[in-house]
Structure 1
Amino acid sequence: MNTKPFPKVAAPSSWDATRKLELGLIHIAKAFFEKRDGMTREDYEGVIQSVTRTRKTSAALLTHAERNLLLQHFKAQGFKVAAKAGAKPLISPQHKKLRAMWYSLAEAGAVERPASAIACDQAVEAWAKRQAHGKVGQIDALRFADSNQLHKLIEEMKAWCVRVKARID
């Protein structure tokens, strides 16, 4: 049995994004078991109660730890997380630099280490969107950022690396 934990969102200030990701995975797992095993709503609510050892019957009411328990249970029962079809890591030199610096931040303990390049890109994108209110300008998705915006993001992340004493090459 594979006991690797589910991927976590790397940015510590993105608890809402983490919650949305976990709830999304739970609902995907629910649909998987509905299709595979004929799980009913009552079965699903019973699983939540038994796994979390609470009276809660909705994933939306669960704490982060309880959501992770539920996801681990679903994983042990055969649910697997697959990357989105067509999801590919960003490949421009500036995107690669941002990804490399994010991993340096992870090594310094400033963020959680992403499970894959795609997870890293998602974490960097979430961070970049939060920077949009500053000097960078509005960014809907990192792949749409222009060269000037990417340069500003790199400089912002370099400053962060310096503050936390992360290695930057």
Structure 2
Amino acid sequence: LTKGRCGSVRSSLWKQRRPSGSRRKISRARVKGKGQLKLSIEVQGWILVLHVMEAKGLTGKENQACNSYVKMSIVPDADWKCRQKTKTVPDSKNPVFHEHFLFPVQEEDEQKRLLVTVWNRERNSRHSELIGCMSFGVKSLLSLDKVPPCWVTVRG
């Protein structure tokens, strides 16, 4: 990680494992909106502590406010045992989350990444659209001890 940046943005190449075990590629056409996410990451031994604070400027279809939530996982992870998510904040372009998440890691996880995705749950359905995502190398995070609170741009 370079000074002044919290992570690298990844969107169109990200693949999501579905419960059925099938994989689907999220194409650029499915990634809508933009915005920023404020977070911090602290290392406590072999545990990554992610604090998802807030977001600003999140927009979905037609530039509307979102019913947003954030999902996090250590990837690759074939059985999604490390997947966690925030509560959904309804109808806001600037949602406040203030939630903490613990990700225990082991030495063999150093080649993996902490994937953070921001989603918009569509009104009146269970369907969600990806707003954007970013990822952080576990090895880089372990070497830093702490990533202070910072804003990360979420792009589609």
TM-score, scaled relative to structure 1: 0.20
Per chain length, whose mean CA-contact separation is higher, i.e. which structure has more relative contact order (CA < 8 Å, sep 6+)?
A: 2
Question: Larger % of helix: which?
Answer: 1
TM-score, scaled relative to structure 2: 0.21
Question: Larger % of strand: which?
Answer: 2
